[in-house]
Amino acid sequence: MMIELENVTGGYGHRTIIEGIDLLVAEGETVAILGVNTAGKTTLIRAISGALPHQKGHIRFEGRDISDDPPHARVSSGLACVPEGRHIFPQMSVVENLMVGAYHRRSSALDEDLEAAFTLFPRLKERRRQMAGTLSGGEQQMVSFCRAMMARPKLLLMDEPSHGLAPMMVEEVHSAINDVNSRGIAVLLVEQNVSSALRVASRGYVLDHGRITLEGTAGELADDPFVKKTYLGI
Amino acid sequence: MKRSLLILAVIAIAAILLGLALDPRSYGVRVLCLILMAAALGQAWNIVGGLANQISLGHAAFFGIGAYTSTVLQVQFELTPWIGMPIGAVLAAVAAGAIALPTMRLKGPYFALATLAFGEICRIGAQAMSGVTGGPQGLSVPFYGDSLAMMQFRQPGAYVPLFAALFFLVSAVFAVMSHGRLGYMLRAVRENEEAAEVTGIDTVRIKLTGAIISAACTALVGGLFAQFTFFIDPDTVFSTTEISIRAALIAIVGGVGLLWGPIVGALFVVLVEEFLNSTLSDALPGISPFLFGVALVVIVIARPEGLVSFRHLVTDRFGKKGKEA
């Protein structure tokens, strides 16, 4: 198992946002977490990345309990994150942003990884010297995506990668997720855009008021009357 | 980066040659030493203030620790500053680590105030520990005459190579850092701390490393300052205005976070100060700090990149292309 959450509860101070979360992602799998705003999706992702340590329960990565690891140590273990709202380094160039993503590794194969990252989004290669803060929203999302890939992750966490993007850009990001997945990297994807998330992912969980209320394969979820009514508007 | 190091070496050698050309006892040589020292001080501050963007107003703490460590070791044990100064750098690094741990989560003015207070604590501490530091009366460097082994000379001219070497050392540290892994990581932390952390950067360790290197460099400048002036007291080497604010002023006026910033800033600050002191000190005493305050406000508002951002005025005139980014 790539990652395993067991009865994870977390939030800010005394305010619990997510409660009793059990979740699995297998090697090479793409899993979506669906839910409306305020369902606790970002809190869940931040608990897994370590940016907001969870309060109860266990998170195991490749069988090892990482609950007490700080975020940077989790990245070193192979758990990279594309945070919500992109969070790029605006005053640094595209290449510098990507290089920072690989610095914790102390390896010398940076150029290879850079090329591999650029194959996901060739457009970034043209803009490699440009300040990341001057890029469009979609391009910034690409930078954030590629920066996470520079860590050579085994599991990629993505928090709302399509948020605020033009429909064409959403397609591009989702096809990049498929591309990453075909390289054998597992993806845990948080999306508000349920219909497109169910096209990318093979399995999904529905998060509602901080609890998982439904889980199943993408097909099952797409056919579920509750999901249809609540998220797909059918 | 190689090009930057080469230019730095040329500047340092040019300063040494200029020192040889001038009368070793002259006022000009003294000003040259002050410029090199100011540039080294500003550059040491620039590591924390520029790369990590933490505006420290307490660098006098490290300057003073450096000055007192090597001087006290000379007075008590006749230990040469060649060894005493590195010991001072280590002690300053330890102090920087101790103060960085509780303050590194602070931002902007809060970090500035905490470091300001730390500098003052060190000044008062040095006054109180009169058994070791001589208290408010200060401490004289024991005189051995011209002695390279004890790093002291009768004429200011002999200090020019020392200051030039220190200037080169600190600037090279900055250049290597800002072009290397550590510099990028510091910049990433500065731009977005949480993103840096989830990108795999150990933000605590990176900030600590920056603070320690900056403090060690500052302590070396303080140690050489003591050798140059032969006398130190708490109000001078732990001075908030003369050291802490001055270090920040030099870097910010010149161009914060840029390698050439403190160099341009040091030229500006020292030359203007010396000119005003020699021409207007009778009519308008204390005019230079006033002017520097005004310059700081104007630059921060109108030219946040500092005086370095005017370089195109020079390069255009010579028909050269602007320096590539």
Q: In percent, how much of chain B has pLDDT > 90?
A: 63
What CA–CA distance (Å, rounded) separates A31 from A197? Answer: 9
Which pLDDT belongs to residue B321?
Answer: 44
Residue B250 lies in a domain: no
At the fourth CATH level, the homologous superfamily of domain A3-78+155-232 is P-loop containing nucleotide triphosphate hydrolases (3.40.50.300)
Among partner residues A51, A92, A129, which is closest to B191 by beta-carbon distance? A92
At B170, the amino acid letter reads: V
Tokens linked to B127: 């006054």
Name chain B contacts of A105, Cβ cutoff 8 Å. Answer: 200
pLDDT single digits (tens) B30-89: 999 999 999 999 999 999 999 888 899 999 999 999 999 999 999 999 999 999 999 999
Which CA distances in Å does B51 have to B120, B183, B184, B240? 24, 7, 8, 22
Give all strands of the β-sheet with A155-159 in edge-to-edge order. Answer: A79-82, A155-159, A186-191, A30-34, A203-208, A211-217
Name chain A contacts of B201, Cβ cutoff 8 Å. Answer: 72, 100, 103-104
* Contact at CB, A100 and B188, closer than 8 angstroms: yes
**CATH 3.40.50.300 domain locations along chain A:** 3-78+155-232
Which CA distances in Å does B35 have to B149, B264, B269? 25, 10, 8
The H or E element containing residue A74 is helix A71-77
What number is the ipTM of this complex?
Answer: 0.84
Name chain A contacts of B185, Cβ cutoff 8 Å. Answer: 100, 103
**Helices H, strands E: what count in chain A?**
10, 10
Q: What secondary structure letter does DSSP report for A68?
A: T
Confidence of residue B315 (pLDDT cuts 50, 70, 90): low
Residue B104 lies in a domain: yes
Among partner residues B184, B188, B198, which is closest to A81 by beta-carbon distance? B198
Tokens linked to B223: 């140690």
What CA–CA distance (Å, rounded) separates B178 from B258? Answer: 9
pLDDT single digits (tens) B204-215: 899 999 999 999
* Contact at CB, A89 and B195, closer than 8 angstroms: yes
| Interstrand relation of B139-140 and A3-12 (parallel, antiparallel or unpaired) | unpaired
| Entry pTM | 0.85
Name chain A contacts of B203, Cβ cutoff 8 Å. Answer: 72
Residue B45 three-state SS: helix
Residue B304 lies in a domain: no
Among partner residues A72, A87, A105, which is closest to B192 by beta-carbon distance? A87
Name chain B contacts of A101, Cβ cutoff 8 Å. Answer: 199-200
* Contact at CB, A87 and B203, closer than 8 angstroms: no
Which pLDDT belongs to residue B176?
Answer: 93
* Contact at CB, A100 and B198, closer than 8 angstroms: no
Which CA distances in Å does A32 have to A127, A185, B27, B118? 30, 14, 73, 50
Residue B117 lies in a domain: yes
Name chain A contacts of B199, Cβ cutoff 8 Å. Answer: 75, 80-81, 100-101, 147-148, 151
Tokens linked to A173: 């990001």
**Is A49 near chain B, with CB under 8 Å?**
yes
Contact B58, B116 (CB under 8 A): yes
pLDDT exceeds 70 at position A7: yes
Count how many pairs of residues, chain A against chain B, have C-beta atoms within 8 Å: 73
Mutate to test the interface with A, among B198, B201, B207, B256 (most CBs of A within 10 A): B198
pLDDT exceeds 70 at position B117: yes
Nearest Cα residue in chain A from B184: A100
Nearest Cα residue in chain B from A101: B199
Name chain B contacts of A113, Cβ cutoff 8 Å. Answer: none
Tokens linked to A184: 């054998």
Domain that holds residue B92: 2-238
* Contact at CB, B200 and A75, closer than 8 angstroms: yes
Give all strands of the β-sheet with A15-25 in edge-to-edge order. Answer: A15-25, A3-12, A56-61, A64-65
Which pLDDT belongs to residue B316?
Answer: 66
B274 C-beta neighbours (distance < 10 Å), count? 17
Name chain A contacts of B325, Cβ cutoff 8 Å. Answer: 129
Handedness of CA A19, A20, A25, A31 (dihedral sign): negative
Residue B296 lies in a domain: no
* Closest Cα in chain B, distance from residue A189 (Å): 16
Whole-number mean pLDDT of chain B? 90
> Which stretches of chain B sit within 8 Å of chain A by CB?
181, 184-185, 187-188, 191-192, 194-203, 325
Counting other chains too, the contacts that B87-91 makes at CB distance below 8 Å and 24 or more residues apart are B88/B219, B88/B220, B88/B222, B88/B223, B89/B215, B89/B216, B89/B217, B89/B219, B89/B220, B89/B223, B90/B216, B91/B65, B91/B66, B91/B219
Residue B209 lies in a domain: yes
Among partner residues A71, A90, A147, which is closest to B191 by beta-carbon distance? A90
Residue A124 three-state SS: helix
What CA–CA distance (Å, rounded) separates B14 from A71? Answer: 48
φ, ψ of residue A16 to 5 degrees: the values are -80, 130
Name chain A contacts of B187, Cβ cutoff 8 Å. Answer: 89, 91-92, 96
List, in order, residues 6 or more apart from A178 with CB less than 8 Å away. Answer: A30, A200
* Closest Cα in chain A, distance from residue B113 (Å): 26
Residue B19 lies in a domain: yes
Contact B309, B322 (CB under 8 A): no
Name chain A contacts of B192, Cβ cutoff 8 Å. Answer: 87-89
Place of tokens 């070496």: B9
Tokens linked to B285: 């005493």
Confidence of residue B169 (pLDDT cuts 50, 70, 90): very high
Confidence of residue B287 (pLDDT cuts 50, 70, 90): confident
How many domains, chain B?
1
Whole-number mean pLDDT of chain A? 89
pLDDT single digits (tens) A153-208: 999 999 988 888 888 888 888 889 999 999 999 999 998 888 888 889 999 999 99
Q: Which residues of A36-48 are buried (b: 16+ CB within 10 A; e: fewer)?
A: eeebbbbbbbbbb
**Is A88 near chain B, with CB under 8 Å?**
yes
Phi-psi region of B304 (alpha: psi -120 to 50; beta: other; left: phi over 0): alpha
Tokens linked to B172: 């090279």
Among partner residues B187, B192, B199, which is closest to A101 by beta-carbon distance? B199
pLDDT exceeds 90 at position A211: yes
Handedness of CA A18, A23, A29, A30 (dihedral sign): negative
Contact A48, B165 (CB under 8 A): no
